[in-house]
Amino acid sequence: MVRVRKALIGLIAVLLAALACLAVRPAFRDPVVWTPDALYYQARLLELRGASSDEALERTFGSPLSAELRARDPHRTANPEWVAYNRPFYERRIAVPAAGAVLYPHAGDRSLLYVSLAGYVASIIALFGLLLLRFGVAVAAAVAFATIVLPPLQSHSSYPLTDSWGLTLEIAALAAAILALDRGMRWLIPWVAAIALLGITRDTTWIPIAAVAWCAFRYRSRVTGWLFGTGIAAALPSLVLFEVPVRNLLALLVNDSEPSADTSWSFIASNYPSAVLELIRANVGFLRRGEWYTAAYFVVGVLVLFLLVRRRPERLGPAGSLMRAGAVAGVLYVMAAPVFSAFRLELVLVPMAAFGLALALEVVTASVRARVPERAPPAAPQSGAVRSSPHG
């Protein structure tokens, strides 16, 4: 029976990977669409392949590669001062450019796009694996399939960006944390590896760390303490080696993505409320333009996560608390960067929303099964009873 289940899981994983590839098939053949973020990653790729800093910027922001984007965005992408101001914010994210640098001799300027698309497929498989830790195969597969067609994940993974791999590593970190809570300390190794890689991929490392910090506070167990301590240790190298000017970044975000001469905390605090209101207004407008599926995925998933976890403490264990704490940390992450991203930044909430959706689906299927009357087994013929002949 165990072998059959493993074979079924493997078959479903292959099917999910194939469906994910089909979902982003146009991106494999269409021209690469460059965004400002993608150009910074491309410049980093060229630096890793030996280009000087100035040469790398010239071959990205000053070349035909970005001509169309510069024409559409002359005040930012075509502005050398804006480019120089934003550059330090991307220095830490070297994992995806490094992978692109390895692929570059074979794929050229499409390397980062292929890495991003691979991350999209990997995120679906990782999510399927995460859900299998608490849910049945059918429920996990259904929610993973629902995530394949999540528009923001499809869309942003089709650009040369780091979001898909950031999501994959976040899911991997949460899965490793659950496995450590369930099966012991040996799962600290994949936890540390996922956190360390996430630290040089996206600035979202503190989301899973905050989740295990809450579990350490609530359960005060040896494993939760080790998860928190090793998570901090794994995140520190990237923070020390690549210093990001946080105040400059926040001042930019609350100033409509324009460099600000004033980067004081008072300037940030005074402009933050209006930036948050603008973010909410822009997100609501985005959803009104037809992104109802996106709204349902995130809103329903997160709400159900908070409504149902407390009702199933024995069923979910510390994993429920971990995912709820991760949802809170994810929302704080989005609010800390109050800039409209067409739900790109909100992708950090995918594992928590998916967990909630799986809970909802499990409850619905259990309710349906409870209402279906069980068929009584056929009554055995009584001893000595005379059976009628077909001929009467």
| 309: containing domain | 2-30+91-368
Per-residue pLDDT, 136: 93
Q: Is 46 inside any structural domain?
A: no
Q: Is 84 inside any structural domain?
A: no
CB distance 51 to 59 below 8 Å = yes
Kindly report the pTM of this predicted structure.
Answer: 0.92
Q: Is 292 inside any structural domain?
A: yes
Per-residue pLDDT, 70: 92
Q: Is 246 inside any structural domain?
A: yes
Per-residue pLDDT, 375: 59
Query: Which parts of the chain have pLDDT scores under 70?
Result: 312-315, 373-392
Burial class (CB in 10 A: 0-12, 13-18, 19+), 99: buried
Per-residue pLDDT, 389: 40
Per-residue pLDDT, 12: 96
pLDDT digits (tens, 9 = 90+) for 264-296: 999 999 999 999 999 888 888 877 777 889 999
CA atoms within 13 A on the CB side of 167: 32
Q: Is 179 inside any structural domain?
A: yes
Q: Is 143 inside any structural domain?
A: yes
Phi/psi for 101 (5° steps) reads: -65, -35
Domain count, the chain: 1
Q: Is 380 inside any structural domain?
A: no
Burial class (CB in 10 A: 0-12, 13-18, 19+), 282: middle
Helix, strand, coil abundance in the chain, percent, nearest 5: 75, 0, 25
Q: Is 83 inside any structural domain?
A: no
Per-residue pLDDT, 290: 73
